[in-house]
Amino acid sequence: MHDPRFLLAVVALPFLGSAIAAFLPARGRNLASTLAGVIALAGAMIIAAYYPLVERGEVVRHELAWLPTLGLNLTLRLDGFTWLFATLVLGIGALVILYARYYMSPDDPVPRFFAFLQAFMGSMLGIVLSGNLIQIAFFWELTSLFSFLLIGYWHHNQSARDGARMALIVTGAGGVCLLVGLLLLGRMAGSYDVDAVLAARDAIHADKAYLPALILILIGAFTKSAQVPFHFWLPHAMAAPTPVSAYLHSATMVKAGIFLLTLLWPVLSGTDSWYLIVTTTGLATLLVGAWAAIFQQDLKGLLAYSTISHLGLITLLLGLGSPLAAVAAIFHTVNHATFKASLFMATGIIDHETGTRDLRRLSGLVRFMPITATLAMVAAAAMAGVPLLNGFLSKEMFLAEALEAHSGTIIDVALPYLATLASAFSVFYSVRFIHQTFFGPPPVDLPHQPAEAPHWIRLPIEILVLACLLVGIVPALTIGPFLASAVQSVLGDQTPTYSLAIWHGFTLPLAMSFIALIAGTALYILFRERLNAVERSPLIGRLKGRRTFEAVLAAIVNAARGLHERLGTRRLQVQLRLIVVTALLLGTLPFLRLGYSRGPLQDTLIDPVFGLLWLCGGACAIAAAWQAKFHRLVALVLVGAAGLAVCISFIWLSAPDLGLTQLLVEIVTLVLLLLSLRWLPQRRPAIWPEERKPPMVLIRRGGDLLLAIAGGTGAAALAYAMMTRPMPDSISRYFVENAYSGGGGTNVVNVILVDFRGFDTLGEITVLSIVALTVFTLLRRFRPAPESIEIPDQQRRQNAFDEASKDHAMGDTLVHYLFVPRIIMQWLFPVVLTFALYLLMRGHDLPGGGFAAGIATSIAFLLLYMANGTRLVEASLSVQPVRWISAGLVCAVATGLAAWLFGYPFLTSHSRYLTLPLIGDIPLASALLFDIGVFAVVVGTTLLMLIAIAHQSIRSPRARKPVQPAAAEPGTGGGA
């Protein structure tokens, strides 16, 4: 069991349990809670088994390499302090799970609760066991996230949602600060490894970045641990189910900040800035929390502010910077977790049994629930610091430390008094909690008749209260050794001698304790009646943290909205102009600075045919731009002509693959656009008479024209400057040299695509598939505009002709229309398919390949569709584009994975030639299989998109006019 690998199980198991719980049926309360309990206990046992190692002062480490070059590994470590904390997290976690099993109503989706709770527990363990700063920040964020889900568990409840959001924003913002702080810390220490950081105290203290790093880390810890002024989220988080409060506000979540401060205490403390910031914050939190707790009317609210106050106490102790204070801080962390968890659980029982948590309505409950009352009284006494209980011991240590001089500032003088005052407050609210709830006359008018809770729900409280008593009475025998190893691991050589005895004689701290006990009780007797009328805390009640928070949030949102309104626009044209102008400016800038010149290379001789080609191509492009508004078909043809010029240029420039693919794609694009033409609205003639265009329009168009010309000139100038400069050496050399020897193909472009950069191609065909599916899905919901659902003009005339002539049935002319071309197109189908297959097979050695072959195949289908009409084709031929796509993707991925079988990395290729009679050598590289995958995906995607658009013409009229059978005429594919 001493294998450090088990640490990984401790962190991973709760997440695994969370995933399992998430899939349990909503009624699976027992199964989910048993699973969670078993996992928590298993974790606790693993941690317990490490104790012999930890006791000897060893640090258990487990490391999994992740990005070793960046110093980022998954590192888990366990020393005395983290052992104590992990035990706390798991032990109280197990008790909370038991409690929650009986607390949660079967009507709630309980498995979801346990899924969140376990994930939260895993995240908390992740923080505690992390041996790496970045990893701590990661799990830190996870706790914020899962606490958000837990607090908002009853999400039908507005206050739960608000509380969850507030907690997430406050702790999440703190988490960002923490991450930056930890990054700085890691840089100062030269490593992100916790042990390395802990060893780099002097380097960190000497660094300039110490103060910013300290402040950022403290913001992170203070937001998490609800320190003033970030404390306001904690009371609002009380909207969570009580087991969540019991867990989050005792052993976890809020203790994460304390944990981090303690963990980093050896390296960060001991400076003036640490002392000033941490001590004052802790002191303020201690007093504010205790003061506000007195005036709460809600039991959970009282406990929430008391939690804030105790967290302040621990922070204060850590801030003092003396080793003894650190011992007290660690000790009080454990004690607070035990008594606060049991108090929350007791509150939950009271809430459950009576139906209210309002102190003003509760009274005399001791008669109805004597056992719960006794348990709560002991726990509250521990909170107040009554002797013979664990809270007393750590509070004595605190008071003793308060008396010590630490800095020689005014804090030294004031601290003993303020500490006694805070202790008195603590007694005050504890007495109020107990007396108001359990004593006095029997309660009247409660929602439920109170009764003792079932035994199983009390068991966790009993265990915790027993712990309070045992630690309080025989500390040295119970917590002693564990505290010693924890203190040793944090303080190392600085470990002071401390005594866990109950009786130190008549000392000043003891006197302060008794003054606090007496004063607190006396204050309660004096003010108990008046307190019940109080609506908000005096003095600090005006400082509404929540209102400030919401005001800040609203201000941020408003500012963002204002900025967006002023700088943003929803107009696409304006956005496009801005993008192009920016690109132009950025493109011009280097030329303005360095000047423009052509390169040293001589121009190659101009071929007049090429000149003629581009005379036509350029004219077509310009004409298309001119005509696109009113003559869409003409513009489409012109763009196609320009595309043809590009296609020929590719072949001219020794890129046969490109020419081929471009030509095929050109055809498919043209068909696609033609298919869409039908659904576009009639172009209205100009709104204004031609000669009197508004000046704004002229200015805008003029501006666009100038911008377009500037862009064109810029692109031309850039291209010319580039082409006249010699080519720098590039990776192309490697591709050419290794294409045949390494990739087994002579067509270098194809070898690059399917072999060298096969992974990119895999990504690309995935993108293609996604696009095709998106197109398909979008079109399923497509409803055309009303004026375009009529049968096209030509069909109407054909039908009218059928109706007029005697020997024609309806639709005859449509069938006879373009009869000869249709027969030819049908006959072309196998020819084009064969051509496509040829392109595919030769792709590795000669121009061709999966892309070109895929598009050629889809063109074959396209011809068939155009010849026969959608219905006829689909009656006889089942085209399943989605299957093509999935088969293609599977084929490509399987080819890649097959390399693993032979012990090579993903997508390693193998090549050989197969000689067939008659046909000759066939390149049979594994890359060919990959190319077949590419081919199938391209066929599938192209067909899916084209067929989806083609289907609109046979589907949409029916969708609008379901009764008219005439509307269901077979539409031809290119029915534009």
Partner 1 sequence: MEILLSLAIGVLTASGLWLLFRPRTFQVILGLSLLSYAVNLFIVAAGRLRSDAPPIIGKDPTSADPALYADPLPQALVLTAIVISFATTALLLVVLLASRGLTGTDHVDGEDGEA
Contacting partner 1 within 764-793 (CB under 8 A): 764, 767-768, 771-772, 774-775, 778-779, 781-785
How far apart CA 95 and CA 44 sit, in angstroms, is: 12
- Region near partner 1 per CB under 8 A, out of 265-273, 393-401, 750-758, 829-837: 750-758
CB of 928 to partner 1, least distance (A): 17
Residue 56's nearest CA partner among 125, 2, 9 is 2
737 scored as a contact of partner 1 (CB under 8 A): yes
Which residues face 65 on adjacent strands? 73
Least distance CB 737 / partner 1 (angstroms): 5
At closest approach, how far in Å is the CB of 915 from partner 1? 14
The whole-angstrom separation of Cα 851 and Cα 836 is 10
Beta-carbon contacts of residue 712 (< 8 Å; ≥ 6 apart): none
Residue 588 CB-half CA count within 13 A: 11
Site for partner 1 in 623-642 (CB under 8 A): 624-625, 628-629, 632, 635-636, 639, 642
Rounded Cα distance between 549 and 163, Å, is: 12
Stretch that binds partner 1, among 44-52, 130-138, 493-501, 621-629 (CB under 8 A): 621-629
Q: At what angle do helices 390-403 and 299-320 cross, to 10 degrees?
A: 40
Shortest distance (Å) from residue 924 CB to partner 1: 15
Which one of residues 499, 597, 732, 880 is an interface residue with partner 1 (CB under 8 A)? 732
Do residues 885 and 944 make contact, with C-beta atoms less than 8 angstroms apart?
yes
Taking the least distance from each CB to partner 1, the nearer of 688 and 817 is: 688
- Return the range that interacts with partner 1 (CB under 8 A); candidates 502-510, 546-554, 717-725, 862-870: 717-725
We find the least distance from the C-beta atom of residue 952 to partner 1, in angstroms, to be: 8
Among 176, 717, 893, 899, binds partner 1 (CB under 8 A): 717
Q: Would you give the binding string for partner 1 spanning residues 640-679, x where CB under 8 A is met?
A: --xx-xx--xx-xxxxxxx--xx--x--xx--xx--x--x
Cβ atoms of 866 and 825 closer than 8 Å: yes
Instruction: Tell whether residue 592 is a contact of partner 1 (CB under 8 A).
Output: no
What's the sign of the alpha-carbon dihedral 298, 299, 304, 306?
positive
Q: What is the nearest approach in angstroms of partner 1 to the Cβ of residue 728?
A: 11
Site for partner 1 (CB under 8 A): which residue of 713, 805, 880, 964? 713
Distance CA(298)–CA(360), nearest Å, equals: 9
> Which of 804, 766, 794 is closest to 941 using CA atoms?
766
Instruction: Give the angle subtended at the CA of 682 by the CAs of 679 and 683, to the nearest 5°.
Output: 125
Identify which range of 722-730, 833-841, 867-875, 904-912 contacts partner 1 by CB under 8 A.
722-730
The contact mask relative to partner 1 for 677-706 (x = CB under 8 A, - = no) is --xxx----xx--------xx------xx-
Q: Tell me which residue of 253, 236, 250 sits closest to 116, measured CA to CA.
A: 253
CB of 680 to partner 1, least distance (A): 6
User: Which residues from 411-440 bind partner 1, rule CB under 8 A?
Assistant: none
Instruction: Report the site for partner 1 in 537-576 (rule: CB under 8 A).
Output: 570-573, 576
In this chain, which stretch among 230-238, 481-489, 516-524, 608-616 interacts with partner 1, using CB under 8 A?
608-616
Q: Which of 206, 592, 606, 820 binds partner 1 (CB under 8 A)?
A: 606
User: How many CA atoms within 13 Å lie on the side-chain side of 894?
Assistant: 10
**Shortest spacing between CB 720 and partner 1, in angstroms:** 4
Asked if 371 is part of the footprint of partner 1 (rule: CB under 8 A), the reply reads no
Which is closer to partner 1, CB of 199 or CB of 634? 634
| Residue closest to 209 by CA, chosen among 174, 170, 183 | 183
CB atoms within 10 A of CB 335: 27
CB of residue 214 to partner 1, shortest distance in Å: 49
- Which listed range, 39-47, 103-111, 339-347, 729-737, lies at the site for partner 1 (CB under 8 A)? 729-737
Q: Give the residue, chosen from 97, 145, 240, 621, that forms a contact with partner 1 under the rule CB under 8 A.
A: 621
Of the residues 137, 320, 752, 927, which one makes contact with partner 1 according to CB under 8 A:
752
Question: Which one of the spans 458-466, 470-478, 730-738, 803-811 is the region binding partner 1 (CB under 8 A)?
Answer: 730-738
Torsion over CA: 644, 650, 655, 661 (sign): negative
- CA separation for the pair 212, 844 (Å, rounded): 59
How far apart are CB 575 and partner 1 at their closest, in Å?
10
Residue 404 Cα distances to 321, 327, 764, angstroms: 12, 15, 69
**Of 359 and 772, which CB lies nearer to partner 1 in the complex structure?**
772
CB of 898 to partner 1, least distance (A): 23
Find the farthest-apart pair of alpha carbons in the chain and give their distance in angstroms, rounded: 125
Parallel, antiparallel, or unpaired for β 913-916 and 920-923? antiparallel
Min dist. Cβ of residue 566 to partner 1 (A): 19
Helix (H) or strand (E) holding 701: helix 695-723
- Beta carbon nearer to partner 1, 127 or 862: 862
Name the segment binding partner 1 (CB under 8 A); options: 8-16, 57-65, 135-143, 606-614.
606-614
Residues 36-65 interacting with partner 1 (rule: CB under 8 A): none
Query: Rule CB under 8 A: which of 793-832 touch partner 1?
Result: none
Cα torsion 716, 717, 721, 727: sign:
negative
Does 722 engage in binding with partner 1 (CB under 8 A)?
yes
What is the size of the binding site for partner 1 (CB under 8 A)?
Answer: 121
Site string for partner 1, 153-192 (x = CB under 8 A): ----------------------------------------
**CB of 190 or CB of 763, closer to partner 1:** 763
Beta-carbon neighbour count of residue 452 at 10 Å?
Answer: 14
Residue 884 touching partner 1 (CB under 8 A): no
CA 829 to mean position of chain CA atoms: 50
Report the site for partner 1 in 896-955 (rule: CB under 8 A): 938, 941-942, 945, 948-949, 952
One DSSP character per residue, 674-698 reads HHHHTTSPPPPPPSS-GGG--HHHH
From residue 762, give the alpha-carbon distance in Å to each of 279, 439, 457, 925.
58, 74, 56, 17
Which of 5/781 has CB closer to partner 1? 781
* Calpha distance 831→495 (Å, rounded): 89
Question: Contact at 8 Å (CB) between 41 and 94?
Answer: yes
- Nearest approach in angstroms of CB 857 to partner 1 is 14
- What is the closest distance, in whole angstroms, from the C-beta atom of residue 592 to partner 1 in the complex? 19
Stretch that binds partner 1, among 291-299, 391-399, 453-461, 711-719 (CB under 8 A): 711-719
108's CB contacts (< 8 A; 6+ apart) are 153, 154
**Alpha helices (H) along 249-298:** 254-268, 272-294
Q: Please tell me whether residue 79 binds partner 1 under the rule CB under 8 A.
A: no
Interaction residues for partner 1, span 828-847 (CB under 8 A) = 845-847
Min dist. Cβ of residue 922 to partner 1 (A): 14
Contact 242, 298 (CB under 8 A): no
CA–CA gap between residue 337 and residue 727 (Å, rounded): 70
Q: In terms of CB distance, is 482 or 740 closer to partner 1?
A: 740
Residue 487, both tokens: 């203190």
**Closer to partner 1 by Cβ: residue 89 or 749:** 749
**Site membership for partner 1, residue 739 (CB under 8 A):** yes
For residues 255 and 262, give the distance between their C-alpha atoms in angstroms, rounded to a whole number: 10
Question: What residue type is 191 in one-letter code?
Answer: S
Coil/strand/helix, residue 366:
helix
